[in-house]
Copies of this chain bind each other. A is one copy, B any other.
Amino acid sequence: MSAPPIIILVRPQLGENIGKAARAMLNFGLTEMRLVAPRDGWPNPSAGPAASGADIVLANAQVYDSVADATADISHIYATTVRKRGVTKPVITPEAAAREVLGNAGRSAILFGAERSGLESDEVTVARAIITVPINPEFGSLNLAQAVILCAYEWSKTQDLASPPKTDLDPPASQFELDGLIQQLDDMLDPLGYFRPEDRAPVTRRTLRNLLTKPAWNALEVRTLRGVLTTLSRNRRTEK
C-alpha cells in the first residue's frame, strides 16, 4: 500500500488559493500540504474561509524556505506545468501520475507553482517527471486549485476509500412477471380492436413485447404498471 502524494505549493500568492487547494485535496482524501515561501506569510487569514471546512489540511500544512527543504524527504517528485518546456523529462497526465504514485516505494510529492508564473525551470529540474493536464489547445486556463483538484481526483480513483457510489438496483422483474403485464395489456387491447386486422396481430404483439421488454422494469415497477392498467380498466367500465 503506497502513501498518498504530498501536495507542495511553491510560492503561492493568495491565501484564498491555498484554502481552495486544501478543500480540493480533502475532497479526494489528500491531507498533507506543504508551502514553500508563501508570498504573504503563514498562517494567512484568507485561507480558512476558502477551505470551506478543510481546516485540518491548513492546520497541518508545513512551511519551508525552499523547494530543496520541502522535498528533502521525498523520493519521487512530480512537477506540474501548463506549457510544454524544452525539458528532457517524461511528460505524463494526472491519471498516469496517480498510477505511478500508487506503485512508488517511498513518499511522492507533486509540486505546483505560483498562480501566474508557475514553477521556475530550476524547480522543474528536481522532478523526475512532469505532470501536464491535457487541455483544450485553444483555451487553457486552469487555476491552481483546479490543477490540484484534478491531480487529487485522479489519485482518489486509485483508492478504494473513495467511496464508489454503489446503489444496489433491483433486478429486472422475472419473465413470468413481465409476461403477466403484457398479457394484462393484451387482454385490455384485444376487445378494443387494437390487434386488427388479424393478420397483422403477430407483428403488433411482437412490437409491443419488444417495447415493454426494453425498460428492464423491476418487479415493483411491473406491479405499479399492472395497477395502472387495472385502474384504466375500471374507469372504462365506469364510463360505459
**Distance from A80 Cβ to chain B, minimum over Cβ atoms (Å):** 11
Considering the chains assembled together, what is the distance between the CA atoms of A167 and B87 in angstroms? 9
**Distance from A142 Cβ to chain B, minimum over Cβ atoms (Å):** 6
**Distance from A150 Cβ to chain B, minimum over Cβ atoms (Å):** 6
User: Using a CB-CB cutoff of 8 Å, which residues 117-170 of chain A contact chain B?
Assistant: 132-137, 139-143, 146, 149-150, 153, 156-157, 161-167, 169-170
Which residues does chain B contribute within 8 Å of A54, judged by CB atoms?
A: 139, 141
With an 8 Å Cβ cutoff, the count of chain A residues facing the other chain is: 46
Is A77 interfacial (CB 8 A cutoff)? no
Contact A167 B28 (CB under 8 A): no
**Distance from A119 Cβ to chain B, minimum over Cβ atoms (Å):** 15
Is A84 interfacial (CB 8 A cutoff)? yes
Q: Which of A89-97, A105-113, A187-195 contacts B (4 or more CB under 8 A)?
A: A89-97
Which residues does chain B contribute within 8 Å of A95, judged by CB atoms?
A: 157
Contact B26 A139 (CB under 8 A): yes
Is A218 interfacial (CB 8 A cutoff)? yes
Is A52 interfacial (CB 8 A cutoff)? yes
Is A88 interfacial (CB 8 A cutoff)? yes
**Distance from A149 Cβ to chain B, minimum over Cβ atoms (Å):** 6
With A149-B150, A150-B149 known as contacts, the answer to whether A26 contacts B167 (CB < 8 A) is: no
Contact B84 A140 (CB under 8 A): no
Digit string of A199-240 for contact with B (CB within 8 Å is 1, else 0)?
A: 000000000000000000010010000000000000000000
Considering the chains assembled together, what is the distance between the CA atoms of A146 and B28 in angstroms? 12
Considering the chains assembled together, what is the distance between the CA atoms of A84 and B52 in angstroms? 21
Contact B149 A163 (CB under 8 A): no
Considering the chains assembled together, what is the distance between the CA atoms of A139 and B31 in angstroms? 11
Is A24 interfacial (CB 8 A cutoff)? yes
Can you show 7 pairs from A to B with CB atoms below 8 A apart? A27-B136, A27-B142, A54-B139, A87-B167, A89-B169, A136-B163, A137-B163
A residues lining the B interface (CB < 8 Å): 23-24, 26-29, 52-54, 84, 87-93, 95, 132-137, 139-143, 146, 149-150, 153, 156-157, 161-167, 169-170, 218, 221
